[in-house]
Amino acid sequence: MSHPSPSAPRPGGDLAGAASVAVEDLHKSYGSLEVLKGISLTVAAGQVVCLIGPSGSGKSTLLRCVNLLETPQKGRITIGDVEVTDPEADVDRLRRHVGMVFQQFNLFPHLSVLENCTVAQVKVLKREKAEAERIARANLERVGLAEKADGYPDQLSGGQQQRVAIARALSMDPSLMLFDEPTSALDPETVGDVLAIMRSLAAEGMTMLVVTHEMEFARDVADRVVFMDGGVVVEEGPAAEVIGSPREARTRAFLSRVLNPTQVQAPED
């Protein structure tokens, strides 16, 4: 189901609680390469929307545009009641409310796990150190890593580092979480731990926009799935429909290869 974008978005609005997202006619190019070709989609507050599609389809670029790590050439993005693409929007203030978890964990190697989860709280949110540590420890407990607070990133497995990255993002009290293929760099044995945390966040009502190749997660957790290819939205709808019985031939071909990776395709004449 499509949800309308918030009315009368304001560049200086507030982001409290779970936030909705509206992307309208978004275009992004790198030189002559057009990566996003008029993307429009919505995520209602508390919804989980998964972006799927082949590499190079524009999924990660779209995600990075949402919190303006990339600047689109055209279009509008609204989070809550804040039009983030408005030239007067306070981008730094926006990013305080939007958590992002990348493929690579981006932890500071010279800081302890606890310090990784407190540094932005102190510097950006201006929290007292004791309060920041209390919040960080609670979120490390939430991701099952309370006992690793005094350790360092290089002492952790990839899956544990990604869980720390999630705890760090949650410690900023985000209204929206963006996940860019958060399990793609992980050992298969640790993927489930990260996905379990994401499932719990979804159950708690966190608004989430997720780029993923984990079709089972998308089918079970997402409210809607958006299939992208070539910088456009090819198909979107309820997860069970898009993954279980896609309408478009391109979606069917992609899912056939993803869900049956050992199936050999006969070369076309």
**206-257 pLDDT per residue, tens:** 999 999 999 999 999 999 999 999 999 999 999 999 999 999 999 999 999 9
Confidence band of 264 (pLDDT split at 50, 70, 90) = low
235 is a domain residue: yes
Judge if 234 and 132 occupy the same domain.
no
18 is a domain residue: no
Judge if 191 and 78 occupy the same domain.
yes
Question: 3-state DSSP call for residue 189?
Answer: helix
Judge if 183 and 246 occupy the same domain.
yes
Nearest to 146 by CA among 158, 137, 154: 137
> How high does pLDDT run on average in the chain?
89
150 is a domain residue: yes
Question: Any residues with CB less than 8 A from the CB of 255 and at least 6 apart, and which?
Answer: 215, 243, 246
Residue 204: Cβ-neighbour burial (10 angstroms; 0-12, 13-18, 19+): exposed
Judge if 90 and 72 occupy the same domain.
yes
50 is a domain residue: yes
Confidence band of 260 (pLDDT split at 50, 70, 90) = confident
Confidence band of 126 (pLDDT split at 50, 70, 90) = very high
Tally the C-alpha atoms within 13 A of residue 202's C-alpha that lie toward its C-beta: 23
Question: Is the CB of residue 72 less than 8 Å from the CB of residue 64?
Answer: no
Judge if 92 and 119 occupy the same domain.
no
Judge if 115 and 222 occupy the same domain.
no
Question: Which percentage of the chain shows pLDDT scores above 90?
Answer: 78
21 is a domain residue: no
**4-49 pLDDT per residue, tens:** 333 333 334 445 567 899 999 999 999 999 999 999 999 999 999 9
Higher-pLDDT residue of 16, 93: 93
Task: Indicate the range of 71-80, 97-106, 152-161 predicted with least confidence.
Answer: 97-106
DSSP state of 154: G
Long-range contacts: 152-156, Cβ < 8 Å, 24+? 152/109, 152/110, 152/111, 152/112, 152/113, 153/105, 153/107, 153/108, 153/109, 153/113, 153/116, 154/109, 156/113
Of 174, 207, 223, the residue at which a domain comes to its end is 174
Q: How many domains does the chain have?
A: 2
How far apart are the C-alpha atoms of 242 and 161, rounded to whole Å? Answer: 32
pLDDT reported for residue 191:
92
pLDDT reported for residue 265:
57
Judge if 194 and 93 occupy the same domain.
yes
Of 131, 159, 174, the residue at which a domain comes to its end is 174
19 is a domain residue: no
Q: Does the structure show a pLDDT above 70 at 72?
A: yes
pLDDT reported for residue 158:
93
Judge if 49 and 156 occupy the same domain.
no
Interhelix angle 129-142/113-123, nearest 10 degrees: 130
Judge if 75 and 124 occupy the same domain.
no
229 is a domain residue: yes
pLDDT reported for residue 18:
76
Question: Any residues with CB less than 8 A from the CB of 36 and at least 6 apart, and which?
Answer: 26, 27, 28, 29, 58, 61, 62, 65, 72, 231
Judge if 236 and 138 occupy the same domain.
no
48 is a domain residue: yes
| Torsion angles phi and psi, residue 179, rounded to 5 | -120, 120
Question: Is the CB of residue 53 less than 8 Å from the CB of residue 225?
Answer: no
Judge if 45 and 165 occupy the same domain.
no
**98-124 pLDDT per residue, tens:** 999 998 888 999 999 999 999 999 999
Q: Does the structure show a pLDDT above 70 at 129?
A: yes
Question: Any residues with CB less than 8 A from the CB of 27 and at least 6 apart, and which?
Answer: 34, 36, 37, 38, 39, 72, 73, 74, 75
Question: Is the CB of residue 50 less than 8 Å from the CB of residue 226?
Answer: yes
Of 113, 141, 174, the residue at which a domain comes to its end is 174
Domain that holds residue 130: 105-174
Judge if 143 and 186 occupy the same domain.
no
CATH number for the domain spanning 200: value is 3.40.50.300
